Amino acid sequence: MTWPQQPGPPRRSGTGAWVVFGAVVVVVVAFGVTAFVAPGFLRPTRTVSGVGQVVPGASVAAPPSSDAAAPSAGDAPPVSIPTARTAEPHRPQPLADPSSCSYPADPNGPAAKPATPPADGPEPASGTVGTTLATTAGDIGLTLDRALAPCTVASFVTLAKEGFYTGTSCHRLGTTDLQMLQCGDPAGDGTGGPGYTVPDEFFPQLAYGRGLVALANTGQPTSGGSQFFLMFGDTPIPPTYTVFGTVSDAGLTVLDKVARGGVDTSSAGAYGDGTGRPRIPVTFTAVSVQG
């Protein structure tokens, strides 16, 4: 979500104008900070009492059907999508290669779909892995970067090879201030995961935007799991989400098509920021790993 813009106060003398201007600034900053740091910004938390329950203010939405018709032209408002890719991030200091990884059980409860985590221990922190997300909207190619996030890449590859993602649908699309498609939830409502957590691998220099893929989390430390978001445009979020790869040019074409289809109006606002289910359903029919 972009910071709200307010017109500047008229130039005039006296303390009254400055008091009003100060109050406006406080309100704007408070609104922006709340939008950024609210828990579950990219993945709502679950209550410990059961899977599928969400924090107050987040609504549970059924995953879209894979055979739903795409919206016709003119049904959705126009979407402004940047064409330039965001520069691929690089760590200022390389990680130890190999790096030690561990995948503790998710304290929020059991998995919505059974999954076996990677074995704890060393994982390579160099090289890339090619992945293809075959979806009902078209194929989305990814290049996963072990140097950026060796533990996250190991988890994603393991889940893909297990068939964990196959049959799941992307449950959240943002087309305005937060331009991304969020996927990887077997529950279909933004609360599901693999039953284990992935260590944080972000760093302060990260910047997000078109062509990058990152791991979703609840806003709490080490709360990532299976959910990830594919960025096709502006994504102004703080550097607290692990970037672990890039989206192919052909994959961006698919994401752009889904974005232009718009957000399902019945689910818009479910996350408090205008995002919701995509009107063009995106369901994974297969996820393959090359190499």
Residue with tokens 């052909």: 250
Mean pLDDT value across the chain: 80
User: Looking at residue 44, what is its pLDDT?
Assistant: 59
Instruction: Using the structure block, give the residue that is written with the tokens 């303390």.
Output: 15
Q: What is the DSSP pairing of strand 243-247 with strand 172-174?
A: unpaired
User: What is the pLDDT confidence band of residue 64, given thresholds at 50, 70 and 90?
Assistant: very low
pLDDT at 112: 87
Tokens read off for 48: 């410990």
Mean pLDDT for 155-174 is: 97
Whether the per-residue pLDDT at 163 is higher than 80: the answer is yes
User: β-strand 121-123 against 212-215: which pairing, if any?
Assistant: unpaired
Q: Where are the beta strands (DSSP E) in the chain?
A: 99-101, 121-123, 128-135, 140-145, 172-174, 180-183, 212-215, 228-231, 243-247, 284-290
User: Does 174 score more than 70 pLDDT?
Assistant: yes
Higher pLDDT, 122 or 71: 122
Taking only the tens place, the pLDDT of each residue in 216-273 is 999 999 999 999 999 999 999 999 999 999 999 999 999 999 999 999 988 766 677 8
The pLDDT-based confidence of 29 (bands split at 50, 70, 90) is very low
Which whole number is the average pLDDT over 62-91?
A: 68
Q: What pTM did the predictor assign?
A: 0.78
| pLDDT above 50 for 133 | yes
